[in-house]
Homo-oligomer: A and B are copies of this chain.
Amino acid sequence: MTKQEKYVYYFGGEEAEGDRTMKDILGGKGANLAEMRNIGVPVPPGFTISAEICDYYIKHDETYPKGLKESVEDDLKKLEDEMEMELGNPENPLLLSVRSGAAQSMPGMMDTILNLGLNDEIVEKFSKTTKNPRFVWDAYRRLIQMFSNVAHGIDSDEFERVITHFKNKKDVSLDIELSADDLKEIVDEYKKIYKEKMDEPFPQDPMEQLWESINAVFGSWNNKRAVEYRKLNDITDLLGTAVNVQAMVFGNMGDDCATGVAFTRDPSTGEDRFFGEFLVNAQGEDVVAGIRTPQEITKKGSQKWAESNNIDEETRKEKYPSLEEIMPEVFKELFKIQKKLERHYKDMQDLEFTIQNGKLYILQTRTGKRTANAAVKIAHDMVDEGMIDKETALLRIDSEQLDQLLHPSFEEDDKQKKTDDGKLLAKGLPASPGAAVGKIVLTAEKAVEAKEKGENTILVRKETSPEDISGMDAANGILTQLGGMTSHAAVVARGMGKCCVAGCGDLDISEENETVEVKGLTLKPGDYISLDGSTGEVMQGKIKTEPPKFSEEFNELMKWADEISTLGVHTNADTPKDSKIARDFGATGIGLCRTEHMFFEENRIDNVRGMILAKNEEDRKYPVSELKKVQKEDFKGILEAMKGYPVTIRLLDPPLHEFLPKVSDEKEINKLSSKFEISVHDIKVRIKRLQEFNPMLGHRGCRLGITFPDIYKMQVAAIIEAACELKKDGVDVHPEIMIPLVGDVNEFTYIRDFTKEIADGIIEENDIDLSYKIGTMIEIPRACLVADEIAKEAEFFSFGTNDLTQMGFGFSRDDSGKFINAYIDKGIFEKDPFQVLDQNGIGKLVEIAVEKGRKANENLTIGICGEHGGEPSSIDFCHKQGLNYVSCSPFRVPIARLSAAQAEIKNS
């Protein structure tokens, strides 16, 4: 670092020395302060010490380059001149804040020290000049506490204990009730603590305070938490943090002072109206603390607020006037500034402002948080207003947040009717939105079991714990007796986007007796209930649901997304109904249709079991032919719902024992015995023999197709016959047959050969021009390594990243909950690899397979149908790998469409 270089950047006066493009060296905060200053927004002046100094400081044994001290002193002088105040001058003291700020926000670093520049002498004098000793002593108290804690690591509790002691002594409950004298005494105690801990008195020299604070900020770059955070988030390209030194302004110096927050648009609806709250003679934290009721900034807003709180105009004007009314000039200025900031940053802004003695200062502007609805509307409207382009609009929406908009709700009429019929059982907290209908289950295990059978459930628990996660995931909705809006159930359910009613105290759940009592009614597992996660209502029986409706803005945005994306979005759907929903959500094909889900339906499971229990092909013929009839109807329904688009149907995947009753289920076994004329003993032997130590690695997928080819042959015939019949009726069908769990090309060709023979035979018989494809799931790690061999034979690949993750990590999805949670707690994993694709490891397998596959077969279609296909960061990865499509559950299709567009925009 040479002396010529610039380390300190002044923001103030006419123009700041930095701007928003200089985040690398000024940090996010410093760059934005400079930027605001540049566009004429009244920001308290100050200067930013470059992040390059942080790097130097750490590498040079906590020393600074020559010239830094002088530069800081020069800029401090400028600041004193601009503020017409002087650091350390008791007559007219300049007070400072010191804040860290790297180019990326980063928890763990030293944050903020306020009121820097006060000392014993200045406090006395300043109390007099401000005529507000309480304010001044309180500021001094805060300085000592923050400085001690932040710069020297002294525990804040040490200081809080003193305040608590004083409040008890004075028998008051709020800090604000302490007088200037009390605070003076407290300051004395604080200084004693400081001296005791540091073995020296609290520094009285404001310059010393300043430098120690700067040192502390730079040093905090390398504290353990910050280092770990950077490691975990793979942040390696930052120089360090910058330090912002800024003049203090105060909103609590009298009635011509105020402080507030504001949004440039409504963060809830997205409506284009200026919106915010403020308090007269208050500090920033008072607005959010809720001790005093904040007032609305605009008159309109204030009137609206009063109306909904039944406050008459008289009272409102007197007690809760708007800023527009009490400080019309300041309001006008604020209004202009917020418009300017929004136009400048081209996004909805969240501002903090302070009014000191009638003068407005903007302390911060940042992109405002908003609901999904608001995000969609704002992004859309800003395109209409010409403020941003479509690409920017699409990037503005957190695709994961869209989930809020995609949940079903109850049909209002049906719900009303049932409510009138007395079916409303209870009301709990509306913990996570959506509408859910299902059978009561009382344990997580039962929920998982039921899901495997394709049954809808509501998991009803006293309260949930981490061990219930898999059950919560499996259930359609969650209902708890205890716990609030931030209980485990509520938090997890919202995370999962799953309907949840929490803390429903009217319930009395007994896991032991297997009962749920509510209002004198006793419900049992298996009984249907319906939950409204948006109102907290719990209803008896099944209420009809309807899919969510979308705003015009939403639909238009989705259209823009589709125009931009190069990655298709298909869906995982097993029924005509799901296919229809997915089409409505914009899916352009089915990426995964699981044939076995249909097997569990009541009228089918018997024949499935008969097929499995048959001793030879002869005995198997009857149940297989019965199944073929129903499968064909299923396929017709799905192919028709998806007409014009590809439908990828996976042949039977799960191990056969999943379809059989338990050995202990005498009743069911007796039934099967008489229906299929097999002895009870033989059935039990067969059930036992089909049991496996590790079913996930067992006799399933194409391994079934090879050892029991008649099942696969039946499915192939059902698919192709269904397609032929539809085609004859003029329906445009595109069936694709997917062979699961292939690890070796010979497995694929073995099944492909008979599949082709059957399909071609049927097509020829029907004398019809039907094209179809045969491809495979890539879900076995080995398949990725020999993908070239497979690609030479297959027409498409579809990554089954669930199994690929299971086998690549060696994690049983059903068993790993226990330790994966421990892994996340201990920081070994950042994310559950079953939720977010592990790009570093499993992703490498995908990469290898794509590369080898495309090289061997340039016409190969490649998609993904694992659950990662609906997860935004995984979709971005799929885009970068050059996949043709992702496939996800119907309700995630819009999320995937948006993510696909974002991936295209980000990566091009």
Interface residues of A (CB under 8 A from B): 692-699, 703, 706-707, 741, 743-744, 746-747, 750, 779-782, 785-786, 803, 806-812, 814-816, 818-819, 822-823, 826-829, 838, 840-842, 844-845
- In this complex, which of A703, A829, A838 has the most chain B Cβ atoms within 10 angstroms of its Cβ? A703
Closest to A843 in B: B785
Q: A697-B815, A781-B809 are in contact. List 19 more A-B contacts (CB 8 A).
A: A692-B815, A693-B696, A693-B815, A696-B812, A697-B810, A697-B811, A699-B816, A706-B819, A706-B823, A706-B828, A743-B810, A744-B828, A750-B826, A780-B808, A781-B807, A781-B845, A782-B809, A782-B842, A785-B841
Residues of chain B with a CB closer than 8 A to A696's CB: 693-694, 697, 810, 812
Residues of chain B with a CB closer than 8 A to A828's CB: 706, 744, 746-747, 750
**In the bound complex, CA of A311 to CA of B281 (Å):** 129
Q: A693-B814, A695-B815 are contacts. A829–B744 as well, Cβ < 8 Å?
A: yes
**In the bound complex, CA of A845 to CA of B783 (Å):** 12
- In this complex, which of A694, A741, A809, A844 has the most chain B Cβ atoms within 10 angstroms of its Cβ? A694
Residue pair A698, B841 in contact (C-beta under 8 Å): no
**In the bound complex, CA of A750 to CA of B842 (Å):** 21
**In the bound complex, CA of A829 to CA of B702 (Å):** 14
**In the bound complex, CA of A829 to CA of B696 (Å):** 21
| A-B pairs with beta carbons under 8 Å apart, 27 shown | A692-B814, A693-B815, A694-B697, A694-B815, A696-B697, A697-B811, A698-B812, A698-B816, A699-B815, A699-B816, A699-B819, A706-B822, A706-B823, A707-B818, A743-B810, A744-B828, A744-B841, A746-B823, A746-B829, A747-B828, A779-B810, A782-B809, A782-B838, A785-B808, A785-B840, A785-B842, A807-B810
Closest to A691 in B: B815
Residue pair B699, A814 in contact (C-beta under 8 Å): no
Residues of chain B with a CB closer than 8 A to A845's CB: 781, 785
Residues of chain B with a CB closer than 8 A to A741's CB: 810
**In the bound complex, CA of A785 to CA of B744 (Å):** 20
**In the bound complex, CA of A662 to CA of B647 (Å):** 47
Q: A706-B822, A781-B845, A822-B706 are contacts. A809–B743 as well, Cβ < 8 Å?
A: yes
- In this complex, which of A706, A782, A818 has the most chain B Cβ atoms within 10 angstroms of its Cβ? A782
What is the CB-to-nearest-CB distance from A317 to chain B, in angstroms, rounded to a whole number? 62
What is the CB-to-nearest-CB distance from A658 to chain B, in angstroms, rounded to a whole number? 11
Residue pair B803, A780 in contact (C-beta under 8 Å): no
Residue pair A809, B822 in contact (C-beta under 8 Å): no
Residues of chain B with a CB closer than 8 A to A703's CB: 819
Residues of chain B with a CB closer than 8 A to A782's CB: 808-810, 838, 841-842
Residue pair A781, B808 in contact (C-beta under 8 Å): yes
**In the bound complex, CA of A370 to CA of B404 (Å):** 77
**In the bound complex, CA of A780 to CA of B809 (Å):** 6
Residue pair A781, B803 in contact (C-beta under 8 Å): no
What is the CB-to-nearest-CB distance from A602 to chain B, in angstroms, rounded to a whole number? 25
Residue pair A810, B818 in contact (C-beta under 8 Å): no
**In the bound complex, CA of A694 to CA of B747 (Å):** 24
Residues of chain B with a CB closer than 8 A to A811's CB: 697
Residues of chain B with a CB closer than 8 A to A816's CB: 697-699
**In the bound complex, CA of A157 to CA of B406 (Å):** 73
Q: What is the oligomeric copy number?
A: 2
What is the CB-to-nearest-CB distance from A516 to chain B, in angstroms, rounded to a whole number? 23
**In the bound complex, CA of A809 to CA of B741 (Å):** 9
Residues of chain B with a CB closer than 8 A to A819's CB: 699, 703, 706-707
Closest to A781 in B: B781
What is the CB-to-nearest-CB distance from A302 to chain B, in angstroms, rounded to a whole number? 54
Closest to A811 in B: B697
Residue pair A785, B844 in contact (C-beta under 8 Å): yes
The 10 A-B residue pairs with the shortest CB-CB distance, nearest first, are: A697-B812, A694-B812, A782-B841, A698-B815, A693-B814, A746-B828, A781-B781, A785-B844, A692-B815, A694-B696
Residues of chain B with a CB closer than 8 A to A827's CB: 746
Residues of chain B with a CB closer than 8 A to A807's CB: 697, 781, 807-808, 810
What is the CB-to-nearest-CB distance from A848 to chain B, in angstroms, rounded to a whole number? 9
**In the bound complex, CA of A815 to CA of B786 (Å):** 24
**In the bound complex, CA of A841 to CA of B778 (Å):** 14
**In the bound complex, CA of A812 to CA of B693 (Å):** 8
What is the CB-to-nearest-CB distance from A906 to chain B, in angstroms, rounded to a whole number? 25
Closest to A698 in B: B815
Residues of chain B with a CB closer than 8 A to A826's CB: 706, 750
Residues of chain B with a CB closer than 8 A to A744's CB: 828-829, 841
What is the CB-to-nearest-CB distance from A701 to chain B, in angstroms, rounded to a whole number? 8
**In the bound complex, CA of A192 to CA of B693 (Å):** 62
**In the bound complex, CA of A842 to CA of B697 (Å):** 16
The 8 Å CB contact of A694, one of B707, B743, B785, B814, is B814
Residues of chain B with a CB closer than 8 A to A822's CB: 706-707
What is the CB-to-nearest-CB distance from A708 to chain B, in angstroms, rounded to a whole number? 10
**In the bound complex, CA of A507 to CA of B809 (Å):** 49
- In this complex, which of A697, A699, A827 has the most chain B Cβ atoms within 10 angstroms of its Cβ? A697
Residues of chain B with a CB closer than 8 A to A806's CB: 697
Residues of chain B with a CB closer than 8 A to A699's CB: 815-816, 818-819
Residues of chain B with a CB closer than 8 A to A747's CB: 823, 828
The 8 Å CB contact of A810, one of B781, B786, B823, is B781
- In this complex, which of A695, A785, A819 has the most chain B Cβ atoms within 10 angstroms of its Cβ? A785
What is the CB-to-nearest-CB distance from A646 to chain B, in angstroms, rounded to a whole number? 26
What is the CB-to-nearest-CB distance from A465 to chain B, in angstroms, rounded to a whole number? 13
What is the CB-to-nearest-CB distance from A623 to chain B, in angstroms, rounded to a whole number? 22
Residue pair B743, A841 in contact (C-beta under 8 Å): yes
Q: A746-B828, A819-B703, A828-B706 are contacts. A812–B781 as well, Cβ < 8 Å?
A: no
**In the bound complex, CA of A786 to CA of B829 (Å):** 14
What is the CB-to-nearest-CB distance from A467 to chain B, in angstroms, rounded to a whole number? 9
What is the CB-to-nearest-CB distance from A236 to chain B, in angstroms, rounded to a whole number? 14
What is the CB-to-nearest-CB distance from A784 to chain B, in angstroms, rounded to a whole number? 9
Residues of chain B with a CB closer than 8 A to A812's CB: 692-698
Residues of chain B with a CB closer than 8 A to A706's CB: 819, 822-823, 826, 828
Closest to A822 in B: B707
Residue pair A695, B693 in contact (C-beta under 8 Å): yes
Residues of chain B with a CB closer than 8 A to A818's CB: 699, 707
Closest to A785 in B: B844
Closest to A783 in B: B841
Residues of chain B with a CB closer than 8 A to A746's CB: 823, 827-829
What is the CB-to-nearest-CB distance from A807 to chain B, in angstroms, rounded to a whole number? 5
Closest to A693 in B: B814
Closest to A847 in B: B785
**In the bound complex, CA of A823 to CA of B827 (Å):** 43
- In this complex, which of A743, A781, A803, A806 has the most chain B Cβ atoms within 10 angstroms of its Cβ? A781
Residues of chain B with a CB closer than 8 A to A698's CB: 812, 815-816
**In the bound complex, CA of A815 to CA of B815 (Å):** 18
Closest to A820 in B: B703
**In the bound complex, CA of A822 to CA of B370 (Å):** 59
- In this complex, which of A706, A808, A829 has the most chain B Cβ atoms within 10 angstroms of its Cβ? A808
**In the bound complex, CA of A188 to CA of B397 (Å):** 93
Residue pair A810, B750 in contact (C-beta under 8 Å): no
Residues of chain B with a CB closer than 8 A to A743's CB: 808-810, 841
Residues of chain B with a CB closer than 8 A to A838's CB: 782
Residues of chain B with a CB closer than 8 A to A697's CB: 694, 696-697, 806-807, 810-812, 815-816
Residues of chain B with a CB closer than 8 A to A810's CB: 696-697, 741, 743, 779-782, 803, 807
What is the CB-to-nearest-CB distance from A826 to chain B, in angstroms, rounded to a whole number? 7
Residue pair A840, B694 in contact (C-beta under 8 Å): no
**In the bound complex, CA of A151 to CA of B55 (Å):** 86
**In the bound complex, CA of A357 to CA of B162 (Å):** 126
Closest to A697 in B: B812
Residues of chain B with a CB closer than 8 A to A815's CB: 692-695, 697-699
**In the bound complex, CA of A750 to CA of B819 (Å):** 14
